[in-house]
Amino acid sequence: MSIDFIIADRDTPFLFPPSVQDWLPEDHLARFVVDMVGQLSVSSLRGVYVGKGSRPYDPALLLSLLFFGYSTGVFSSRKLEQATYDSVAFRFITGNLHPDHDTIAMFRKRFSAELKDLFNQILVLAKEMGILKLGTVSLDGTKVQANASKHQALSWQHACKIEQQLKQEVEQLWLLADQADQTLIPDGMKIPEELVRRENRLATIAAAKKKIEARATERYEQEKQVYDNKLAEREQKAKERGRKPGGKAPKPPVPGPKPHDQVNLTDEESRIMPTSGGGFMQAFNAQTCVDIATMLIVATHVTQQTNDKQQIEPAIEMLEQLPEQLGQVKEIIADAGYFSKSNVDACEDADINPLIAVGRDKHNRNIEERFSKPEPLAEDADSVTKMKHRLKTPEGKALYGVRKSTVEPVFGIMKSVLGYRQFMRRGLENVDDEWTLVSLAWNLKRLHVLAKPRPKIPVSAACKAKSGVQGSQLGLFCSKMRLIWISIAKMNVKRKIEDFFAPSVFIVSPTGC
């Protein structure tokens, strides 16, 4: 039996030239990116070109290419160039043109400072589309690997050791050079080349040690300021109480570099940071504020500090720089890594209600702890006490519970789905611009999903009738369950559950829906 298969015809020419508009469905992400970029103001980018040399690509074209690439997990300029040949979606983006990787990389580097403004324009468009309604944001940070290896980090202790060793080797080489008997020189050794190599290494180590000393001096000044403040507080308490305050006196900071202070020779602005799964990595700390209603990123910044405790105030500054038409942030949610009294006061000074966890709650709490209500709040309570009280209320618990389902999935999708785990550029300012580009691409990808009309599923009349009957029974069921939960709070769990489940109710559907 012969089967008439459908065979690919790759040789018959088209009667008419194909149109790129016929290559993708109407709701494709590439079309959405092109439409969104078309609504952005890119006059500042176009104004940089002076019209000399070869014809440049339109900035809107290259922006669309970068945004679509980053939103689909294509970050390398060489892979972006190759995608304009291999991918139909990228061919649609470029209009069947093929910018080379040098052009893409230079454009990304040249206009990285303008990304902040484009990021805000995207948020304004989301506001005009009726999607973004700024109110409550969730703040968190993630460690992103730097474009440098942790094995290229040089510590102060190791630098001093290697420096001493190299100086001894240089002295030995000069002694060999002064020897008249050349038989003492090993075969293949060229003393001038060996001297130059070690002198270059000594110069590199000397420069690294200066950077470590500068960081140590800056750290000492900060620690000295904290130490002086603690001493002043102890003296003030001693005067008020008329006696010496209890507890140990604060230890004065020690100036100078510590043995494990280090600098990376590849990217000196990156830092060694601990990872959540254990171990260490050469990384930056990328901070992100996510709107809890839409999961859109509204503010970002990158820091060298491992601890998140100092990142509340920079995040507030970034939120205050948002366009006025977006509205004002009313609440900010953060985990226990951001808690301090100064951070709580900083939020209140900016008219933002903080919901910052003061510690890690234990798992599998008992019923009394889960459904207990906080004690009445005193009238003269300070900002931290007010925040702790709100975190214990049902509304505060529900609002804080949204944190882990908003900002953390954004990081998970960026790293696991899109595959963005390492910065491509070096230097704090450059990686900050790159993180803005990644966040902008995420917002476009997210807006594409939020802007899609959700289809309504048709329901048959029989199913509607059945759902009405079941709806009334469901309301009765919910009211009974509410009574059961009240009984649980009174520690009468077993008797009430047995009374509730004693009668058995079976619903038979005549339609089988």
- For 202-259, what is each residue's pLDDT tens digit? 888 888 888 888 888 888 888 888 888 888 888 888 888 878 877 788 888 888 888 8
**What average pLDDT does the segment 101-107 reach?**
94
DSSP secondary structure letters along 362-390: PSS--HHHHH--PPPPPTT--HHHHHHHH
In tens, the pLDDT along 302-335 reads: 999 988 888 999 999 999 999 999 989 999 999 9
CA 448/CA 178 separation, integer angstroms: 74
Residue 215 and residue 261 in contact, taking contact as beta carbons nearer than 8 Å: yes
- The region that residue 329 occupies, defined by phi over 0 for left and psi between -120 and 50 for alpha, beta otherwise, is beta
* Residue 173 or 422, more confident: 422
pTM over 0.85: no
Which CATH fold would you assign to the domain 136-149+270-443? Nucleotidyltransferase; domain 5 (3.30.420)
Q: What's the mean pLDDT in 451-474?
A: 54
Out of 115-129, 297-311, 352-366, 391-405, least confident range: 352-366
For residues 282 and 272, the answer to whether their CB atoms sit within 8 Å is: yes
Res 445 pLDDT > 80: yes
Determine the Cα–Cα distance for residues 151 and 133; give it in Å rounded to an integer.
Answer: 45
Q: Are 67 and 40 in contact (CB under 8 A)?
A: no
433: amino acid identity, one letter:
D
139 vs 130: CA distance, rounded Å = 23
**483-493: per-residue pLDDT in tens?**
555 555 554 54
Across the range 282-300, mean pLDDT stands at 94
The residue-averaged pLDDT of 137-159 equals 88
Weakest mean pLDDT among 237-246, 252-261, 429-438, 465-474: 465-474
Structure confidence at residue 477 (pLDDT): 55
Residue 439's SS3 state is helix
At residue 158 the predicted structure's pLDDT band, cuts being 50, 70 and 90, is confident
pLDDT at 463: 46
- State the Cα angle at 58 between 54 and 64, rounded to 5°: 140
Q: Is the pLDDT of residue 496 over 80?
A: no
Instruction: Output b/e per residue, 459-491; b: 16+ Cβ within 10 A.
Output: eeeeeeebeeeeeeeeeeeeeeeeebeebeeee
Instruction: Say what the pLDDT of residue 431 is.
Output: 94
What per-residue confidence (pLDDT) applies to 80? Answer: 95
Could you tell me where in the chain the CATH 3.30.420.10 domains are found? 136-149+270-443
Give the angle subtended at the CA of 316 by the CAs of 314 and 317, to the nearest 5°. 65
Q: How far is CA 111 from the centre of its chain?
A: 22
* Among 153-162, 179-188, 224-233, 412-421, the range of highest mean pLDDT: 412-421
Mean pLDDT of the chain: 82
Give 265's DSSP letter: S
Angle at 297 between CA 293 and CA 301, to 5 degrees: 145
Q: Is 139 within 8 Å of 346 (Cβ atoms)?
A: no
The encoded tokens of residue 252 equal 């004065």
- The closest of 294, 288, 285, 332 to 439, measured between CA atoms, is 288
Token pair for 206: 């000397």
Is pLDDT at 128 greater than 60 in this prediction? yes
Q: Are 83 and 101 in contact (CB under 8 A)?
A: no
The CB-side HSE value for 204 (13 A sphere, CA atoms) comes to 17
**Is the distance from CB of 264 to CB of 279 less than 8 angstroms?**
no
The confidence score (pLDDT) of residue 62 equals 94
